[in-house]
Structure 1
Amino acid sequence: MFLTIQKKTLLSFSTLLLLSLMMVFIAQLYIVKILCMIAIGVLMSKKIRVSKFVLLNFILILVYGVLGTGLGIIYQNPNPFQFLGVFFFWPIFWLFFISYFSTSPNLLERYLKVLFISHTVIVLFDLFYAVAAFNGIKLPNPFYGTETGFSIYENSTRMTFINLNTLTFSTPILFILFFSQYKFGINKIYQVINVILTIILLILSGRRSVMLMCVSVFIMPLLFSSCFSKEVRRTTGKVVLVLLVIVFIGAYYVENAYPGFWEGYYQVFLKAFDSSEEPIKFAQAKMFINAIFEKPFLGHGFGAIFFEPLPGRMIYSSYFELSYHQKLATTGIVGFTLIMFVFLSTLWYSFYLSKRNKDVTLVAFAVGLLFMLVADATNPVLCSFDLMWPLYLCLAKINSYQIN
């Protein structure tokens, strides 16, 4: 009996620790993450239970991984195994996670607490780093792949921490849970503080995808309020309105104190549609369109090297910002259809089940996945081990309905 309890505790701890590390330390601490994965695999005593829908999507992910890798080998690309882990080996592990998550009802509330804490840690650290930069203090950058975490320009700022990709998923989840008054063991005052600090960080980040959430996260609760209780629906609009008033008052105060402050951030959005301001993405689009027409059906395979022409950086690489373009170029119409079916079918079925069962957590996960899919267009996020878990969380919730 004692060993059984210890086993369950260790399994739960390993799962929650893994998800927390994936949120906060993207592309870091892989040894610890792998140990957590091994522990989950070893401690999973029950037979893996997944529904036909989930199994189909996993098969399609594996086929996509084999297709891209196989083509890369055939065409002798420099790095044909570039995404084999993300789209072949890691999905096999996630089957264990989904089965465990689906059959452990108490794990969801614990995970939501971990998600809130991890999100808050990211927000507080990034804001602390920004405040230090505003005061001329240079702090060491603890995150891999980022030279300058926060830059200050004449009338705008720019944050390049990779952990902002995590907020793309966690922010809409926590906002929907807040507006729906869903109880998961976190005091409302802490949730309000988290909402305000998150909005400040998203604006200071200077990144379009996360800045856009400042507006859309207030709209999403209204769009999906049908999943809320009747009592909550009566007050949702008022709560949204009050928070918007607070935001506008704060914005008005900042504009008066620092004239022209918002103009700089407004220009950030306009640059997205100006080829002279964003030459790299326009150059990549042209490059990938040519590559797609060369091999439209099966593509060039994983690890293919493409040349980014003028007005871009004039470089050869296999990593680019335009994720969907690259998927089409590397795996063609066939591969692109496979992986997009996985993403969109999971998204649609999540919304369908959440509406049918009035499941606030599932609709929150689905909205988070939606934001990740939008961000993935110009910032590849759904192609790494640490950022694929939004997809698998939705599949885990779907699986819990279909096997129970």
Structure 2
Amino acid sequence: MRISLPWGLSWKAIGRAIICVCLAYIMIRPVGFNSILIPVIGVLAITSGLLAWSVRGRFSKTVLLVLALTLITGLYGTVIGIGNPGLFNGMLVWIIAPIIYGLLVLAGDERLVQLILRVSVYVTIVVSAGIILYVAGAVGFTPQLIPHFVQQQVGAGFDSDAGGTTNITFYGLSTLVAAAPLWLTAAILPHSPLLPHKALSVIAAVFAAGATLLAGRAAITILLISVPLVTWIIWRIVTRRERRSLWRAWAPLVAAVAAVAAVVLLDLAGNTSIQRSIDRVITVFSGQGQSLDDRIRSIEAVKLLGAWTNSPIFGHGLGATIPGYSRNHERPWNFELQYHLILFQTGLIGALLMVAALGIAVYGLTRVIRRRPDLLPVLLVTASGAAALLIANSINPYLQAPGNMWPVYLALMAINVGLVRKYEQTHSDVEVVGSHEQSD
């Protein structure tokens, strides 16, 4: 017997609302306060599981294969790593978190994609505005408008070197790694019904760009510029036969002018974040003038690759450590260079599994672009957020925290929705597991 709900609500609508509330908290505080974060992620898992069960089989085999390969990598690393000191931490990242977010992917439909993007745009604006106001108060440009209690809750901290480069800590800053490029991409691409209003995308992009530049994170600054540009080029190639509106033709130029204006204003204010970002890019190619962090990562790369060569095929298992070397004495299995770490812990077997998963995901993306051109803006926007996070993860361990994983799985959700919906509309040869669907 079905229980009717008041105000025309459905159980699916309630489930989606709970998921969005949980994700909003995770985006604001993706790390820290585990006494709250863990129950929130637990509620997200349960709700996503129930919602996934309710749709009964509207899942693409392409996306299921990506999720399966991720779990197989985690299970393989677990078997190899039995007895390693950091095994549970590795299982959290490679098994528990993928199961939770995999359920979220399978619970998704167009409405849930739309709602998550709306939550993301508002959270991006709030977090970015908080960072800007906090930095303005910390440098004395304005009174400190962020109460001390709120600063503690969001992990706000501030430092400044002699050259004037701000360097802050803020729990939500890691959310901007994906959200800033995501919303800048949304601002310069055509609108879609699944995306928030264009004005909100532009506001989020402007606030996120400003917060990113003030935060003094070189890697995020580089991704903020490069990922939307590459995504826009891909969009131009895919839609090369379509007629361009005035906005489509000039939006990238408007964004470029706004970026230059922001850089000039920051330079006039004495902030050297942009110059530091440029210098860091130069050091990647020249190897000269590396910062202390860069030199530490260079040593870490050598250590991880050296340890990998001791077991290049099978790896050392999740949670493995390097005898005589660590970056954190309390958690010696943690390292910044995550892709070096995958090779060290799971060997060529695990690395090839993950390369296969990435390749299948890209293949699924191209299939949806061909079959559902109406979803192109959403696909490229979510893919830009996922790409930015995956790139940034190469030098900073963002994906070691389950709270930072949502952009990758949001892109998979969009791909799954596109593949399944094509089947329902045209009964084409899209691979789908099952066919039963319950209505709201």
Please give the range of the TM-score, normalised by the shorter of the 2 chains: 0.7 to 0.9
Amino acid at match of 2:301: A
User: 1:115 and 2:120 equivalent?
Assistant: yes
**Per-residue deviation, 1:281:** 0.3
How far, CA to CA, are the matches of 1:258 and 1:213 in structure 2?
Answer: 22
Of 196, 206, 210, 1:196 maps to: 206
**Per-residue deviation, 1:304:** 1.2
Give yes or no for contact 1:80–1:303 (8 Å, CA) kept in 2. yes
- Counterpart of 1:81 in 2: which secondary structure? helix
How far, CA to CA, are the matches of 1:286 and 1:315 in structure 2?
Answer: 21
Q: Residue 252 and residue 401 in structure 1: after superposition, are their counterparts in 2 closer, same or farther (change >3 A)?
A: closer
Give yes or no for contact 1:305–1:316 (8 Å, CA) kept in 2. no
User: 1:242 and 2:254 equivalent?
Assistant: yes
Partner of 1:164: 173
Give yes or no for contact 2:135–2:158 (8 Å, CA) kept in 1. yes
Of 51, 54, 60, 1:51 maps to: 60
% identical aligned pairs: 23
Is 167-176 or 251-260 further displaced after alignment?
A: 251-260
Partner of 1:340: 355
Higher relative CO (Cα under 8 Å, sequence separation at least 6) belongs to 2
**Per-residue deviation, 1:268:** 4.5
Q: Residue 233 and residue 214 in structure 1: after superposition, are their counterparts in 2 closer, same or farther (change >3 A)?
A: farther
Amino acid at match of 2:213: I
How far, CA to CA, are the matches of 2:13 and 2:176 in structure 1?
Answer: 28
- Counterpart of 1:150 in 2: which secondary structure? strand
Amino acid at match of 2:299: A
Give yes or no for contact 1:206–1:268 (8 Å, CA) kept in 2. no
Q: Which runs of 5+ in 1 are unaligned?
A: none
Aligned pairs for 1:52-131 (under 5 A) are: 52-73=61-82, 76-101=83-108, 104-131=109-136
User: 1:177 and 2:186 equivalent?
Assistant: yes
Amino acid at match of 2:21: L
How far, CA to CA, are the matches of 2:313 and 2:182 in structure 1?
Answer: 37
Of 289, 313, 319, 1:303 maps to: 319
Of 19, 26, 46, 1:22 maps to: 26
Q: Residue 279 and residue 230 in structure 1: after superposition, are their counterparts in 2 closer, same or farther (change >3 A)?
A: same
Let me know the Cα RMSD of the aligned residues: 3.0
Deviations 1:80-103 (Å, cap 9, x if unpaired)? 2222133223333334322321xx
How far, CA to CA, are the matches of 1:186 and 1:262 in structure 2?
Answer: 29
How far, CA to CA, are the matches of 1:22 and 1:344 in structure 2?
Answer: 28
Q: Residue 307 and residue 266 in structure 1: after superposition, are their counterparts in 2 closer, same or farther (change >3 A)?
A: farther
Q: Residue 151 and residue 269 in structure 1: after superposition, are their counterparts in 2 closer, same or farther (change >3 A)?
A: farther
How far, CA to CA, are the matches of 1:221 and 1:320 in structure 2?
Answer: 33
Deviations 1:5-40 (Å, cap 9, x if unpaired)? 341221111221222222212134221231232233
Q: Residue 347 and residue 17 in structure 1: after superposition, are their counterparts in 2 closer, same or farther (change >3 A)?
A: farther
Amino acid at match of 1:389: W
**Per-residue deviation, 1:118:** 1.2
Give yes or no for contact 1:70–1:80 (8 Å, CA) kept in 2. no
How far, CA to CA, are the matches of 1:98 and 1:325 in structure 2?
Answer: 27
Q: Residue 328 and residue 382 in structure 1: after superposition, are their counterparts in 2 closer, same or farther (change >3 A)?
A: same
**Per-residue deviation, 1:378:** 0.4
- Counterpart of 1:334 in 2: which secondary structure? helix
Amino acid at match of 2:218: R
How far, CA to CA, are the matches of 1:259 and 1:48 in structure 2?
Answer: 53
**Per-residue deviation, 1:62:** 1.5
Q: Residue 255 and residue 42 in structure 1: after superposition, are their counterparts in 2 closer, same or farther (change >3 A)?
A: closer
How far, CA to CA, are the matches of 1:45 and 1:315 in structure 2?
Answer: 43
Amino acid at match of 2:124: H
Give yes or no for contact 1:287–1:308 (8 Å, CA) kept in 2. no
Q: Which runs of 5+ in 2 are unaligned?
A: 422-440
Of 203, 211, 219, 2:221 maps to: 211
Amino acid at match of 1:323: Q
Partner of 1:290: 306
Q: How many residues are paired up?
A: 397
Give yes or no for contact 1:288–1:326 (8 Å, CA) kept in 2. yes
How far, CA to CA, are the matches of 1:88 and 1:259 in structure 2?
Answer: 42
**Per-residue deviation, 1:314:** 9.0
- Counterpart of 2:84 in 1: which secondary structure? coil
**Per-residue deviation, 1:122:** 1.4
Amino acid at match of 2:107: Y
Q: Residue 313 and residue 201 in structure 1: after superposition, are their counterparts in 2 closer, same or farther (change >3 A)?
A: same
Is 271-280 or 109-118 further displaced after alignment?
A: 271-280
Give yes or no for contact 1:308–1:314 (8 Å, CA) kept in 2. no
Deviations 1:38-80 (Å, cap 9, x if unpaired)? 233245433243222122222211211111111111xx21122
Deviations 1:268-320 (Å, cap 9, x if unpaired)? 4445544564221011011111101111011111111225759x889981111
Q: Residue 56 and residue 254 in structure 1: after superposition, are their counterparts in 2 closer, same or farther (change >3 A)?
A: closer
Amino acid at match of 2:169: T
Give yes or no for contact 1:77–1:304 (8 Å, CA) kept in 2. yes
- Counterpart of 1:213 in 2: which secondary structure? helix
Give yes or no for contact 1:69–1:301 (8 Å, CA) kept in 2. yes
Calculate the TM-score normalised by the size of structure 1: 0.86
- Counterpart of 2:89 in 1: which secondary structure? coil
Is 318-327 or 16-25 further displaced after alignment?
A: 16-25
User: 1:220 and 2:231 equivalent?
Assistant: yes
How far, CA to CA, are the matches of 1:276 and 1:344 in structure 2?
Answer: 34
Partner of 1:324: 339
Give yes or no for contact 2:218–2:276 (8 Å, CA) kept in 1. no
Q: Residue 5 and residue 158 in structure 1: after superposition, are their counterparts in 2 closer, same or farther (change >3 A)?
A: same
Q: Residue 30 and residue 233 in structure 1: after superposition, are their counterparts in 2 closer, same or farther (change >3 A)?
A: farther
Partner of 1:2: 4
